[in-house]
Structure formats: C-alpha cells, structure tokens
C-alpha cells in the first residue's frame, strides 16, 4: 500500500469485547503508517468508545441480536468499493 487509495477499508469484528479491543493497537500502528487512509469499522454497538480516538475511522454499530440483515454492499459508500478485512 505505497500508493494513496481513495477506497475505504472495511473492517468487521463481532466477537467479544476483548477480541475487538485487540484491534485498537493494530489500528494505531496502521494509522501511523497511513494517516490519510479511511477505515470503516463495523462491530457491536458497545465497542464504539474504543474507536473514538481515530479521526479517519467511521464506526458503524450493528446489533446482531435484533435479527439485523446488513449486507456488505450496503456498507460501501464509495462507488469504487472498499477493501474488506474481517479481523
């Protein structure tokens, strides 16, 4: 990823809070190397406060307990799509 990308990176994680929290140091390191890259992070609503420190991260809360039917395509706002990483 040496070239600037206008495409956001979609990351999703729906496991326990501890597992979700382990992505925070990874994101800090990533943003140190790529400070202008946009990331869309999809996870459970209670994880939202973990990601408030990141300016280029959009957090989308999804409540899987309420029979949410959310498709990956509905999350992509860029016409060019996004790079998708399930962490």
Structurally, the chain folds into a number of domains equal to 1
Residue 70 lies in a domain: yes
56 Cβ contact list (under 8 Å, min separation 6):
31, 35, 36, 37, 38, 39
Percentage, residues of the chain above pLDDT 90: 47
pLDDT of residue 78: 44
Q: Using one digit for the tens of pLDDT, what is the confidence trace for 22-55?
A: 999 999 999 999 999 999 999 999 999 999 999 9
Residue 39: its H or E element? strand 39-43
Residue 48 lies in a domain: yes
What CATH code is carried by the domain that includes residue 58?
3.40.50.2000
Q: Which residues of 47-72 are buried (b: 16+ CB within 10 A; e: fewer)?
A: beebbeebebbebeeeeeeeeeeeee
Query: pTM for this one?
Result: 0.71
Residue 4 lies in a domain: no
- Which residue range(s) make up the domain with 37? 9-86
What CA–CA distance (Å, rounded) separates 79 from 31?
23
State mean pLDDT over 16-24.
91
Residue 3 lies in a domain: no
């Amino acid at each position: 990823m040496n070239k600037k990308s206008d495409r956001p990176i979609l990351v999703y994680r729906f496991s326990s809070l501890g597992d979700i929290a382990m992505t925070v140091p990874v994101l800090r390191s990533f943003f140190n190397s790529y400070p202008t890259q946009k990331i869309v992070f999809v996870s459970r609503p209670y994880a939202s406060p973990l990601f408030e420190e990141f300016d280029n991260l959009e957090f989308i809360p999804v409540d899987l307990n309420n029979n949410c039917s959310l498709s990956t395509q509905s999350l992509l706002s860029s016409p060019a799509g996004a790079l998708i990483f399930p962490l």
